[in-house]
A and B are shown apart, each in its own frame.
Chain A
Amino acid sequence: MRYCFAMSERKTIIDMQQLMLRYPTGKVALSGVNLTILQGQFVYLTGESGAGKSSLLRMFYGGLRPSSGQLQVQKTDMRVAGEAAVRAVRRRTGIVFQDHRLLFSRTVFENVALPLRVQGWSNERLIPRVRKVLEFVRLDDRLWSYPEALSGGEQQRIAIARAMIATPPVVLADEPTGNLDEDTARHVLDLLMGLNELGTTVIMATHDLHLLNSHPGRVVQLHAGALVGDSHAT
């Protein structure tokens, strides 16, 4: 009962109604999706390849525009949002990619500091902030290393540090454990869970369904662009 009350008190962070996405080629990636994600939830987006998981995530940060329907992300209507509004959403969104997309010619510090750098932070403010975030992912001793000197799991932890440094209310993770072995994947998921416990909404697209046993969360299932299952649906 108390849990239900707490849920109802939470703010809606993403809301979509009859969401449809059609690519210029004519292919329909998503069709008639209704979904509401509340602040502080940990949401798994599951489904086969091509089900529409990545397209949905891209719409959450304005990389794709809905073809029809409604999509509100952090109170911004993404169908009509201008460049400034989309930029504002992106500054309040952390993104983790399957291939982590770290800049190999730059140090760990420079990689992690990038989101705050684009917001105008000075180096003096950035150094303690980056160190603190790296402590969270337990890589503070690698501050001045280059990513190529790190293992795959460590690189993904750096990507998580980069996603969380600006303390965004939402972190989107697109198959963050896809290239990792099971133990390393579990560590990465631990970090995302830890981030969620701090109040961040985490939305993670994944194939690794066995991870759901050890790290439970809301499971939203897509199939051929349609929503076919939601563990928290009412």
Chain B
Amino acid sequence: MQPDNVRIHLPGGLNMPPFGIHQYLALIIVGVSLWALGSVWMGLQATGQWVGTWQQQMVLHVYLPQEHKKELQALQQGLQAVDGVAQVESITREDSAQWMRQWLGNSTLDVNTLAERLPETLLVRLLDNESGQFVVDDIRDVAERMHAAMNEDEVQLLGMREVLDKAETLIWFVTVLLALAMALIVSNTLRMILLARADEVHLMRLMGAKEWFVRMPFVLEGLLLGAGAGLLAWLLLWPWVWGSSEWLAGSMVELHVGVLLLPLLFGGALLGCLGALIATARLVSPDSVVES
């Protein structure tokens, strides 16, 4: 009969080694690293949304002075012919007056007189994913040929998308580097556990244990360690969200932390598994089977 206070814990197979100080330390280090990565990706998500709100309204405006008003149709056709331009609309005088009325807070001023003095305005919509410098240069060339001018502030905003694309590439690079570093941290931790359990591994091999039976506990431990670190990182993201939600709401940004749970959980588990495979790759005992 097994006494109540005795817990049988046989090594090998699906039985993991007990968690000790090394594992908890690795859990915290990998968890914080994953949290840093999660924070960066969440920041990118927020910036993407912020820029997205511009981009929904984002169009390029081309202005034609009143004295060249007769070239308006030719300018519209010329802009429409530029590769990457989806649509060119002419803003009517009524629309301009309406916009100006709103802008002036529905004041009693005679906005029609003011609107009369505005240049003729064309609204240029670009095709989706078109924000390249070539399209902008082509539009500028056409506009300048017809004595018109572009709104250069809008051109600068268009450039933000390119900056974001570059930032995303950089973040991917950092993610891969940190992932490798985290896999090595897990690998190093498991290596220490393996060294502490070298006698056990040696004995199991002497007794004819299969290699998967000897290595599986360490692979499972790496998997659990990585997944645990991923969960910890995800939980640590919430204070960010709670602390910044009010401020972000003002910029029409709403963070979705839920979508990061699975990537962090499975990414962490994958890293842990990779670390375990690295750690057990050269698991040699004194009496390992020698190749003939």
Contact = CB atoms under 8 A, between A and B. Distances in A.
Q: Which of B8, B13, B210 has the largest count of A CB atoms less than 10 A from its CB?
A: B8
Interface in B233-292: 286-287, 289-290, 292
Given A101-B203, A103-B200, A118-B209, A83 B289 contact: yes
Given A64-B290, A65-B290, A107-B6, A118 B208 contact: yes
B288 to A, nearest CB: 8
A58 B206 CA distance: 10
Contacts of A90: 205-208
Contacts of A95: 206
A110 interface: yes
A213 B165 CA distance: 87
A144 B6 contact: yes
B168 interface: no
A117 B11 contact: yes
Interface residues of B, number: 27
Contacts of A115: 207-208
Interface residues of A, number: 34
Contacts of B200: 103
Contacts of B6: 107, 144
A87 B212 CA distance: 13
Question: Main SS of the interface on chain B?
Answer: loop
B292 A118 contact: no
B50 interface: no
Contact of B287 (A63, A103, A110, A114): A63
Contacts of B56: none
A103 B9 CA distance: 12
Contacts of A79: 292
B2 interface: yes
A117 B290 contact: no
Interface in A56-97: 58, 61-65, 79-81, 83, 86-91, 95
Interface string A104-144: 00110110011101111001000100000000000000001
Interface of A: 58, 61-65, 79-81, 83, 86-91, 95, 101, 103, 106-107, 109-110, 113-115, 117-120, 123, 127, 144, 166
Interface of B: 2-3, 6, 8-13, 199-200, 202-211, 213, 286-287, 289-290, 292
25 contacts: A61-B206, A62-B289, A62-B290, A63-B287, A81-B292, A83-B211, A87-B209, A90-B206, A90-B208, A101-B203, A106-B9, A107-B6, A110-B8, A110-B9, A110-B10, A110-B11, A114-B11, A114-B207, A117-B10, A117-B12, A117-B13, A118-B208, A118-B210, A123-B8, A123-B10
